[in-house]
Amino acid sequence: MVQVSADSQTSTRIAVVGATGYAGGEILRLLLDHPGVKSGELSIGSLMAGSSAGTPVSDAMPHLIALADRTIEALDLEKLAEHDVVFLGLPHGHSAEIAKQLPEGMVIIDCAADFRLRQQSDWDTFYGGDYAGAWPYGIPEMPGHREQIAQSARVAVPGCFPTGATLALWPAVQAGLIEPKVSVVSITGVSGGGKKASVGLLGAETMGSLKAYNTAGKHRHNPEIVQNLTEVGGEGVQLSFTPVLAPLPRGILTTATAPLAAGVDEATLRAAYEQAYADEAFVHLLAPGVQPQTQAVLGSNACHVQVEVDQRAGTVLLTSAIDNLCKGTAGAAVQCMNLCLGIEETAGLSIAGVAP
User: In this predicted structure, what is the pLDDT of residue 196?
Assistant: 62
Cβ-contact 170, 232 below 8 angstroms: yes
Q: Exposed, middle or buried by CB within 10 Å (0-12, 13-18, 19+), for 262?
A: exposed
130 in any annotated domain? yes
- Angstrom CA distances, 225 to 75, 150, 193, 194, stand at 32, 23, 18, 20
Cβ-contact 96, 113 below 8 angstroms: no
Cβ-contact 288, 242 below 8 angstroms: no
344 in any annotated domain? no
39 in any annotated domain? yes
Looking at the fold, whether 296 and 174 belong to one and the same domain comes out as yes
Looking at the fold, whether 113 and 182 belong to one and the same domain comes out as no
CATH number, domain with residue 22: 3.40.50.720
Domain residue limits at 300: 160-322
Looking at the fold, whether 295 and 166 belong to one and the same domain comes out as yes
Looking at the fold, whether 168 and 128 belong to one and the same domain comes out as no
User: In this predicted structure, what is the pLDDT of residue 183?
Assistant: 96
327 in any annotated domain? no
User: In this predicted structure, what is the pLDDT of residue 263?
Assistant: 87
Looking at the fold, whether 109 and 189 belong to one and the same domain comes out as no
Question: Is 160 one of the catalytic residues?
Answer: yes
142 in any annotated domain? no
Structural domains of the chain, count: 2
Looking at the fold, whether 167 and 298 belong to one and the same domain comes out as yes
Residues of the chain with pLDDT under 70: 1-9, 192-201
Looking at the fold, whether 29 and 177 belong to one and the same domain comes out as no
52 in any annotated domain? yes
Looking at the fold, whether 126 and 263 belong to one and the same domain comes out as no
Query: Exposed e or buried b for every residue in 298-320, given b needs 16+ CB within 10 A?
Result: bbbbbbbbbbbbeeeeebbbbbb
CATH number, domain with residue 215: 3.30.360.10
Looking at the fold, whether 201 and 251 belong to one and the same domain comes out as yes
What would the pLDDT profile of 52-103 be if each residue is shown by its tens digit? 888 999 999 999 999 999 999 999 999 999 999 999 999 888 899 999 999 9
Looking at the fold, whether 107 and 224 belong to one and the same domain comes out as no
Catalytic residue among 160, 303, 326, 336: 160
353 in any annotated domain? no
Q: Exposed, middle or buried by CB within 10 Å (0-12, 13-18, 19+), for 51?
A: exposed
User: In this predicted structure, what is the pLDDT of residue 87?
Assistant: 98
Looking at the fold, whether 183 and 242 belong to one and the same domain comes out as yes
Looking at the fold, whether 195 and 316 belong to one and the same domain comes out as yes
User: In this predicted structure, what is the pLDDT of residue 123?
Assistant: 93
User: Could you say which of 135, 152, 168 is where a domain stops?
Assistant: 135
